[in-house]
Amino acid sequence: MIRDVLRMGDPRLLAIASPVHDFHSEELKQLLADMRDTMAHLNGAGLAAPQIGVSLRVVIFGVTANPRYPDVEEVPDTVLINPEITPLGDEMEEGWEGCLSVPGMRGWVPRWSSLRYAGCDEQGRRFERSVSGFHARVVQHECDHLDGILYPMRIRDLAKFGFNEALFPGQDLPRED
């Protein structure tokens, strides 16, 4: 079922989400189905459970290569539950981000360039990956939602935060997270 996505200003987006303990519940299955439906409907790159009002440490993300956006790297479709992020090195890089909870806007956000993330898939099996670049950015953005952090809170120079049409006139932009 497609769910409403909460928008910045809603206090539920600022809460610390709770870990998942039961990986075989009907609630988790339904949550993941709703998150997939909602993300697909809005053509998002990622979605965190708190964005649909469920305060659990569950995120999904994935970006398929699109010839319209040759600069956007592919990210595998992933369900990540109870994630842990470990930066690899201290290098950071800045890039444009959007968010389904901050629709129509983009901001220039610093993130760790490389990291390892670990967590569980929807069956509760633990996995980990070492990633960099756009994949690392998407993971950091989604996992921030679990700690009540929205990307505008990380922008260093608010001159680089604005509406899509004003920042990128006439451009067709890739997906929001």
Which residues are tagged catalytic? 142
CB of 101 to Ni ion, least distance (A): 5
Toward Ni ion, which CB reaches closer, 140 or 177?
177
Contact, 60 vs 33, CB < 8 A?
no
CB of 24 to Ni ion, least distance (A): 28
Q: What is d(CA 4, CA 38) in angstroms, rounded to the nearest whole number?
A: 8
CB of 142 to Ni ion, least distance (A): 7
Toward Ni ion, which CB reaches closer, 109 or 131?
109
How many positions of this chain bind Ni ion (CB under 5 A)? 2
Question: Among 172, 157, 44, 37, which residue's Cα sits nearest to residue 102?
Answer: 44
Q: Does 13 bind Ni ion (CB under 5 A)?
A: no
Q: What is the pairing mode between strands 161-163 and 102-112?
A: antiparallel
Question: Among 116, 67, 63, which residue's Cα sits nearest to residue 87?
Answer: 116
Q: Which residue is nearest to Ni ion (CB)?
A: 99
What is the footprint of Ni ion within residues 71-110 (CB under 5 A)? 99
Q: Does 177 bind Ni ion (CB under 5 A)?
A: yes
Q: Does 144 bind Ni ion (CB under 5 A)?
A: no
Q: What is d(CA 177, CA 174) in angstroms, rounded to the nearest whole number?
A: 10
The DSSP call for residue 50 is G
Q: Name the residues that contact Ni ion, by CB under 5 A.
A: 99, 177
